Structure 1
Amino acid sequence: MPTEASPALGAPDHWVAPLARAVPALALGLVITFSPDHSARLGLVGFGVLAVVWAAVLFASALRADRAVRGLVVVQGAVTAVAGIAALVIPDRATGTFVLVVSAWAIVAGALEAVNGIRFRGTRPVARDWIATGVLTALLGLVVLLVPQGYADPYAIEEKGEIVASGTVTAEVLLVGLLGAWAVVVGVQLALAAISLRLARQAATKEVAA
């Protein structure tokens, strides 16, 4: 029978849940990292797809969660779903739209996840991972807000005294790059959380069997 120490398959504190969030996050991070296109359009579409997938995972895990955890997970899923759908359907693909959607989602959803972790710190192994994911996500929102939308930093790459490449790092490029970096970091963190929870579950099963 599922317990706090041995949660139901697919529950928010079962290893499957963070793994199901890690895979699309890492995929988004890799797409942004290796894509020559760092436009707000790419950022919004990539974020929108990630958010919709995460919302589905959160709603599915809430169905398997115990009553103490379920409420905030459902709210987090709802916030994530609204942000993801907004990112995909809003026709305005400007930098300002990217900032508004991503920062609002990140601050609210990150705070909700961190609060859930703080509530169960010391009683559930997954709590520290919820705190880490929540803090990293909230920080993304704050950093996105702090980047001036008029930011522009010209650069030039010289080779043997000749300029071989030049351009300008704009706010749009920087912001989408930040989203990609966050996706990689959070994806790795969630993958490690899944491995840790899986190993802890195996150890607990062996103890019971012994």
Structure 2
Amino acid sequence: MPEQISAPHGGEARNRPAGADVRHDLWAPTLLRAVVALVFAAVTVFWQRPTLEGGRWVMAFFLVGTGVSAVFLQMRLNRREDVDLGASRSIPQSYGVLYVLGGALTAVVAGSDWLFVLCSAVILGLCGITELVLGMRFRHEFPLGRDWTLCGVVSVFAAMGMVLVEPLGTKAELGIAGGAAILIGVSQLIAALSLRHDARAADEAPRGPERTA
């Protein structure tokens, strides 16, 4: 992961106080997303005969939880004056809100199998494309750039997969979404642990030679 990102107000990272590394603000939202994805994946794996009603509530949990983690990330980014994402700064909040609204819509409106797939696939597809574009733009400049790219690709493929297996029923649809959730959950868990470790290492690293009179 990159050690530094753009700082609009200037200043070198080595002169920041302990705890100021941006990764301190990134690992918790990333961990929350990982937990949501892994819980959803576990349910889809062990639930052998899911009903449509139960399936839509489980999917709603996944979508809403993912959205909450994105909004949480946005809140952390908003308090960082040293993070410069330009016009893309508020994108996590945008697709986070879309995830939350999509999850609520899936739980309330998806009364038939094709509506369930339509709502889920549209939300996963739109949010996935948005996250993919964001990740591709900052894949070398921001600690979460590559993770955004991976999650975006997986979400888009999950959306297409759900549409393709729609004739097979709820079990197959949740199986596709659950498989994607496993990839997202594991990658985000590794990312969260790495961010936390790297942030602590940055705090303990020497901050450069002290000035002499």
Give the TM bin, normalised by the shorter chain: 0.7 to 0.9
Structure 1 length-normalised TM = 0.79
1:89 corresponds to which of 103, 108, 113: 108
Q: Is the contact between residue 48 and residue 85 of structure 1 (CA under 8 Å) also seen in structure 2?
A: yes
Match of 2:51 among 39, 57, 64: 39
2:186 corresponds to which letter in structure 1? V
Across the two proteins, how many residue pairs are aligned to each other? 184
Give the drift of 1:141: 0.6
TM-score (normalised: structure 2) = 0.78
Which structure has more relative contact order (CA 8 Å, sep 6+)? It is 2
Q: CA deviation at 1:135?
A: 0.7
Where in structure 2 are the equivalents of 1:1-210 lying within 5 Å?
4=5, 6-7=21-22, 9-10=24-25, 14-65=26-77, 66=83, 68=85, 69-90=88-109, 92=111, 94-147=112-165, 149-150=166-167, 170-208=168-206
Identity of aligned residues (%): 26
Greater fraction strand: 1
For residue 64 of structure 1, what is the amino acid of its counterpart? R
Report the Cα offset of residue 91 of structure 1. Answer: 5.6
1:20-48 deviation digits (Å, cap 9, x = unpaired):
11111111111121113223322211111
Counterparts of 2:115 and 2:129, CA distance in 1: 21
Give a deviation string over 1:91-136, Cα, whole Å, max 9, x none: 61x2101210111011111111111111112111221111111111
Q: Which amino acid aligns with 1:132?
A: L
Unaligned ranges ≥5, structure 2: 6-12, 14-20, 78-82, 209-213
Q: Cα 1:95–1:208, aligned 2, differ >3 Å: closer, same or farther?
A: farther
Q: Distance in 1 between matches of 2:199 and 2:24?
A: 11
Amino acid at match of 2:106: A
Query: Structure 1: which 5+ residue stretches go unaligned?
Result: 151-169
Task: Give RMSD over aligned pairs.
Answer: 2.1
